Structure 1
Amino acid sequence: MNSSVNWRPTASIQTLKKRAEINAQIRQFFAQRDVLEVETPALAHAGVTDIHLHAFNTQFNSPLNPEPANLFLQTSPEFAMKRLLCAGSGCIFQLCKSFRNEEAGKQHNPEFTMLEWYRVGFNHLQLIDEVDALLQLVLKTEPLDRLSYQQAFLTYCDIDPLTCSLAELKRKAEYFGFANIAQVENSKDVLLQLLCSQVVEPKIGCLRPVALTQFPASQAALARLNKDDPRVAERFEIYFKGLELANGYHELADVKEQQTRFERDNQARIQNGLGKISLDPHFMAAMESGLPDCSGVALGVDRLIMLACELNNIEQVMSFSINNA
């Protein structure tokens, strides 16, 4: 027997007990609001087109089929949950494993736990209120602050992200020490995301959670554009003590616009040397049938537990991290 193998859990038993208590709190929170708990597959026949998300894929070798089926571990349960919404499920939530073939470190593990929920009839501002209520319950936080993406950049970067030119953005990135990236990068969104993660995020949500709202339309993902100001999307992210906790949308329901965005993603994937991802036919058919007016949010449970336990490494709240799984 190899005595050097570290078989022990990366989280303490005390932390695992606290984790179980928080999971029970979350379920009770939604039970009191009559939100249905659901389960959806971790494996699906389609991946996601988002250029920033990288899915694990595998093959299903069925004795009934001569050719193996290519399957993807889901980066989130979003598409399957929206299919349930289209089928008339009403408000739903899910605590589940999600998988991303990306980095592993203090804040990331390729296999992680996500809390995702959808509220029929809610806009994104109402959903922010509900996220706030959950954080106050679990973390005993003060009510969260709200800050627009535009105001955050004006305050911490002294630049308007909605009106600045690429040249102005390059100069600003150089000013903050990212000249090596600014000199070769020609995407405004990449530079905005760089400044947001490296300059803005460390300065917000230090004492109480903050909801960053009104993201640029080019970063809408699957959110609706604001009717009064189409330069921005009805999207928000929640930050607290240096951690991005949640990402939410007033969900896009226009299937034609959805397809256009997916095709745009695939064009960007090709330009960046990534493979084109086929659109999920089940999801697109469900959206054709009609998604109810709703808002949804995905929250990182492991990071929530890190905050609740005052720990600074994600492996400290997991039974076994990727390093000894």
Structure 2
Amino acid sequence: MSWQPTTTHQARLARATLLKTLRAFFDDRQVLEVDTPLLSSATVTDVHLDAFHTLFDHSATGKPQALWLQTSPEYAMKRLLCADSGPIYQICKAFRHEGQGRYHNPEFTMLEWYRPGFDHQDLMAEVDALLVATLACEPADKVSYQHVFLDYTGIDPLGTSLTELIDALARFNIDISAPETLDEDSILQLLFSQEIEPKIGLDRPVMVYGFPASQAALAKINACDPRTADRFEVYFKGIELANGFYELSDATEQRKRFIADNAQRKSMGLPEKPVDEHLLQALESGLPDCAGVALGIDRLLMLKTGASSISEVISFPVATA
């Protein structure tokens, strides 16, 4: 076991420079830097995310309390927005209970920001400006989820069937066991990651918007096409870099989505997760019309330095932490 960092001194200097650039970018736009807790009494219900948790033995209740390391500062930042914070951003650690890989470490650094008065199209333009400022790249291409799916697979993701999707797995030689046990969204995500993601954004970033409404997460449903959600993702040189939303502000609808997530978790044999009542109370008080986005700083730094693995830009990844 080596005690040495996996980064070079040059990589550490590049990180410091990148953080200065990011803070200057938001300072110029009068977006306030904020700080929120990493530990929370609730966590995400999303079936595709898993959070670390621990027991707090000194709770005011007198009983051990489960606390969760946050997968994103989103819920706490939305509480600030509901308290009239105005435009805000945060650079912080986030945690996801997943294996270490080329692009992922269970502990990573995230940039997240929210813009009252913006929709997802406005925010895509600002993300584009940030990428040009930090990477000196060309402006991004923008394409709808439906269009890019048709281009690379010949499948209309907004009008397909489960049978067609299962057949597509065989057609593209994606060999998984028991594909019939997967739902349409799971197969769409598998096809996207295997057949589309590696082929887009190779020369300049690409922003994919208009995801299926069933993959809305915390985004609004599009007013013109209710089959889609006002959500976008950013890809560049094979890396999924950012995920943004025109934010859902309806507390009742948000509770329904949390409940539906936990029902799906139960059907899949996964543990249900505690719903964040603080967030729901904040939404009931009123979330300003806004858009928000989360961007992986370590992945951004990989692109900036030409690193081939996230361990080259994190001094002590989980294997040597």
Q: TM-score range by the shorter chain?
A: over 0.9
- Count of residues in correspondence between the two structures: 321
Name 2:183's counterpart in structure 1: 187
Instruction: Write out aligned runs for 1:87-102 (5 A).
Output: 87-102=83-98
Name 1:228's counterpart in structure 2: 224
CA offset digits 1:220-251 (Å, max 9, x no partner):
00000111100000000000000000000000
Aligned partner of residue 71 in structure 1, secondary structure: strand
CA offset digits 1:127-162 (Å, max 9, x no partner):
000000010011001010001110111000011000
2:211 equivalent among 192, 211, 215? 215
* 2:158 paired with 1:172: no
Q: Is the 8 A contact 1:173 1:182 kept in 2?
A: no
* 2:14 paired with 1:18: yes
2:75 equivalent among 72, 79, 89? 79
C-alpha distance in 2, partners of 1:125/1:216? 17
Which letter maps to 2:235? Y
Tell me how large the CA RMSD over aligned residues is. Answer: 1.1
C-alpha distance in 2, partners of 1:309/1:180? 35
C-alpha distance in 1, partners of 2:199/2:271? 36
1:292 equivalent among 275, 288, 308? 288
C-alpha distance in 2, partners of 1:227/1:238? 22
Which letter maps to 1:101? H
Q: What TM-score do you get using the length of structure 1 for normalisation?
A: 0.97
C-alpha distance in 1, partners of 2:149/2:189? 11
Name 2:194's counterpart in structure 1: 198
After TM superposition, give the deviation of residue 185 of structure 1 in Å. 3.0
After TM superposition, give the deviation of residue 177 of structure 1 in Å. 1.0
Name 1:44's counterpart in structure 2: 40
Instruction: Could you tell me which runs of 5 or more consecutive residues in structure 1 were left unpaired when the two chains were aligned.
Output: none
- Between 1:296-305 and 1:65-74, the stretch displaced more is 65-74
**Quick one: percent identity of the two aligned structures?**
54
Q: Is the 8 A contact 1:185 1:191 kept in 2?
A: no
Runs of 4+ in structure 1 off by over 6 angstroms are none
C-alpha distance in 2, partners of 1:179/1:141? 36
* 2:144 paired with 1:148: yes
Q: What TM-score do you get using the length of structure 2 for normalisation?
A: 0.98
After TM superposition, give the deviation of residue 48 of structure 1 in Å. 1.1
Q: Is the 8 A contact 2:59 2:65 kept in 1?
A: no
C-alpha distance in 2, partners of 1:33/1:242? 29
CA offset digits 1:273-319 (Å, max 9, x no partner):
11111211111110110100000000000000000000010010011
C-alpha distance in 2, partners of 1:66/1:264? 32
